[in-house]
């Protein structure tokens, strides 16, 4: 069963949420997956709904949602809130992911207070999931797909021009939109990278199982970033898998035109990881 929610955050932003509930054993749900999309991503992009259906068919209660400032508004497939996108920060996304996870335990999504919760994050959603998991005590496992490790992904020249102009524009290759980023994101990274957004420290402090998955042909995020995540992790709790011939979205496109063997392999490995992690 698929349901749509509007979840109000602590600062009164509304998050668009979709939940996928198993049709069988719906009164005995113990496993929850929360999917965090990446930069210029959204819950209904390409594989988002497919992820919800895939894991719900295998007994998971799946939550997908849009971060409040990801740029998606009333039209769930188009970036129409570019003003919010311009002021988004990583700290905001970490907080919102934690609040969604806490809502599971508080009963917002039904009687799931005894549930084990896992995070599944793609691209920037991967590092947001790592940061959220390091600060939350209620999570049981985390998987990252094509996650970044480095938050500051801009050259010195770009940063100088950003500060001079007060904004920077990036091109969305899919929609051809110029998407503005104000200083909020840069300030957040520069001011908080040593504490709240210290990725290496967050990984070291993780006390739950971690699966790191990355496509070997990822041109958007280098495999080296997956390797940095793994090197910082507790090897007794972590595992890294590299998928040959797979790119940043594991060869899935938007609009969704179907799955493929690389992505199905990733889903299978992710499913086994969560099942094994939740059984411990």
Helix (H, G, I), strand (E, B) or coil at 279: coil
The confidence score (pLDDT) of residue 11 equals 98
In 3D space, the residue among 47, 205, 198, 197 whose CA is nearest the CA of residue 122 turns out to be 47
Is 168 inside any structural domain?
Answer: no
Domain that holds residue 110: 2-79+88-151+194-278
Tell me the CATH number at 142: 3.40.50.1820
Show the tokens assigned to 254. 């938007």
Is 173 inside any structural domain?
Answer: no
Is 142 inside any structural domain?
Answer: yes
Is 99 inside any structural domain?
Answer: yes
Is 188 inside any structural domain?
Answer: no
Task: Cite the DSSP H helix spans in 66-222.
Answer: 82-86, 90-106, 124-135, 156-165, 183-192, 199-205
pLDDT in tens, 255-272: 999 999 999 999 999 999
Number of domains making up the chain = 1
Tens of pLDDT along the chain (280 residues)?
999 999 999 999 999 999 999 977 655 667 999 999 999 999 999 999 999 999 999 999 999 999 999 999 999 999 999 999 999 999 999 999 999 999 999 999 998 888 999 999 999 999 999 999 999 999 999 999 999 999 999 999 999 999 999 999 999 989 999 999 999 999 999 999 999 999 999 999 999 999 999 999 999 999 999 999 999 999 999 999 999 999 999 999 999 999 999 999 999 999 999 999 999 8
The confidence score (pLDDT) of residue 133 equals 98
**What distance in Å separates the CA atoms of residue 67 and residue 123, rounded to the nearest whole number?**
14
Is 201 inside any structural domain?
Answer: yes
Is 36 inside any structural domain?
Answer: yes
Is 124 inside any structural domain?
Answer: yes
């Amino acid at each position: 069963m698929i349901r749509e929610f509007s979840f109000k955050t602590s600062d009164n932003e509304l998050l668009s949420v979709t939940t996928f509930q198993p049709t069988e054993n719906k009164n005995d749900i113990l496993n929850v997956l929360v999917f965090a999309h990446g930069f210029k991503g959204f819950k209904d992009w390409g594989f988002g709904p497919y992820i919800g259906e895939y894991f719900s068919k295998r007994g998971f209660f799946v939550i997908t949602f849009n971060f409040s400032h990801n740029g998606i508004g009333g039209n769930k497939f188009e970036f129409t809130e570019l003003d919010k996108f311009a002021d988004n920060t990583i700290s905001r996304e970490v907080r919102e992911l934690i609040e969604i996870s806490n809502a599971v335990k508080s009963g917002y999504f039904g009687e799931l207070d005894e549930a084990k919760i896992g995070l599944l994050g793609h691209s920037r959603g991967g590092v947001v999931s790592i940061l959220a998991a390091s600060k939350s005590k209620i999570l049981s496992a985390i998987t990252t797909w094509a996650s970044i490790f480095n938050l500051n992904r801009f050259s010195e020249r770009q940063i100088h021009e950003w500060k001079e102009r007060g904004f920077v524009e990036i091109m969305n290759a899919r929609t051809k939109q110029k998407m503005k980023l104000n200083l909020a994101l840069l300030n957040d990274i520069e001011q908080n990278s040593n504490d709240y957004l210290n990725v290496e420290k967050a990984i070291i402090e993780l006390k739950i199982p971690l699966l790191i998955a990355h496509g070997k042909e990822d041109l958007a995020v280098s495999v080296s970033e997956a390797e940095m995540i793994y090197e910082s992790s507790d090897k007794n709790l972590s595992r890294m898998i590299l998928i040959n011939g797979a790119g940043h979205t594991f060869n899935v496109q938007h609009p969704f035109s179907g799955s493929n063997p690389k992505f199905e392999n990733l889903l299978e490995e992710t499913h086994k990881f969560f099942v094994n992690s939740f059984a411990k």
